[in-house]
Amino acid sequence: MRARRLLFTAVLILTLTACAPSETVESDGPVPTQSQTPEETAPTELVWTDQSFVRDFTADDGTVVMSVEYLFPGITRAEQVPAWQKIQDYYAAEGMAYLNDAADLAGYAAGDYEVAKAMGEDFLPYGESMSYRISLQTEDLASIVRSYYANSVTGAAHPSNFQFSETFDLTTGEKLTLDDCFTDAAAGRTRVLDLLAQKGGDAGYSRESLEAELNDAYFYLSDEGMVIYYQPDTLAPYAAGLLEFTLPYADLQDLLAISPIPS
């Protein structure tokens, strides 16, 4: 009987314990929760920003003899996507190269200043600038057009204006050549020249001159088509300015290796 009573007592104690509310531990601060390490997520959108390279160069007496301001494309959080970082590094290197060239030219500017000063003449400081625009951007491609201005020769009849451009594969960061844009480089080049001859002929430019002055680096992509351009003083006198010819994608579509038209 004693054993049964002890067993009953033990069972009762266990039952009451199980039914009792759990003890609450109060804290002076917030109760910490278990945190999970967030997964690294790549940015979903490419955001362009400026890479600025600015410098004033002075003569020995402190007079500014040359000022430069080069703006190149940059990409926000480029380090998170290798292809973006490659494009960022490309333009960073370009900017430094322009600054180094400007430093060399500044020596000539200082010399011109000293001559003008000795002769009692006015001196116009040298100046150079670079700007850019995004002419086309899709999920896989970006085409950038850069405008370069230079007033780097005292007494020159006019300043220098030139255009440059790059087209990048946004998945790899590689800069595309004109040949890269076509499945068959030779056929693509022939098609480009045929279209240039059609468009340029109306303006009085022969196929021979269009081909002779064609620079494979001077192209970019736009919403309307592939744009081939010629620098001032190549096909026409300098006063005619930059010449551009837009080749519609419809006329190139069967040979294109890229997809410049947003889906």
Residue 7 CA, distance from chain mean position: 82
- Which pLDDT belongs to residue 22? 36
Residue scoring higher pLDDT (154 or 200): 200
Per the listing, tokens 């001559």 go with 115
* Average pLDDT of the segment spanning 185-203: 95
Q: How many CA atoms lie within 13 A of 72 on its CB side?
A: 21
Q: Which two tokens stand for residue 132?
A: 């850019």
Distance in angstroms (rounded) separating the CA atoms of residues 12 and 139: 71
- Which pLDDT belongs to residue 17? 38
* Average pLDDT of the segment spanning 193-221: 95
The pLDDT of residue 239 is above 90: no
Question: 188: how many CB neighbours lie within 10 A of its CB?
Answer: 20
Distance in angstroms (rounded) separating the CA atoms of residues 67 and 55: 6
The pLDDT of residue 2 is above 70: no
Domains of the chain by range and CATH?
A: 46-176 (3.30.565.40), 177-263 (3.90.640.20)
From edge to edge, which strands make up the β-sheet containing 225-230? 219-221, 225-230, 243-248
Query: What is the reported pTM?
Result: 0.81
Distance in angstroms (rounded) separating the CA atoms of residues 34 and 15: 32
Environment class of 124 (CB within 10 Å of its CB; exposed 0-12, middle 13-18, buried 19+): middle
Residue scoring higher pLDDT (249 or 203): 249
44-47's contacts with Cβ under 8 Å and 24+ in sequence apart are: 46/75, 46/84, 46/137, 46/142, 46/170, 47/75, 47/76, 47/77
Amino acid at 49: T
Each residue of 113-165: pLDDT tens digit?
999 999 999 999 999 999 999 999 999 999 999 999 999 765 556 789 999 99
Residue scoring higher pLDDT (222 or 10): 222
Q: What is the mean pLDDT of the chain?
A: 86
CA distances 200 to 36, 196, 197, Å, are 64, 6, 5
Q: Which two tokens stand for residue 256?
A: 């294109």
The pLDDT of residue 238 is above 90: no
Question: 126: how many CB neighbours lie within 10 A of its CB?
Answer: 24
Residue scoring higher pLDDT (171 or 1): 171
Residue scoring higher pLDDT (40 or 88): 88
- Which pLDDT belongs to residue 29? 37
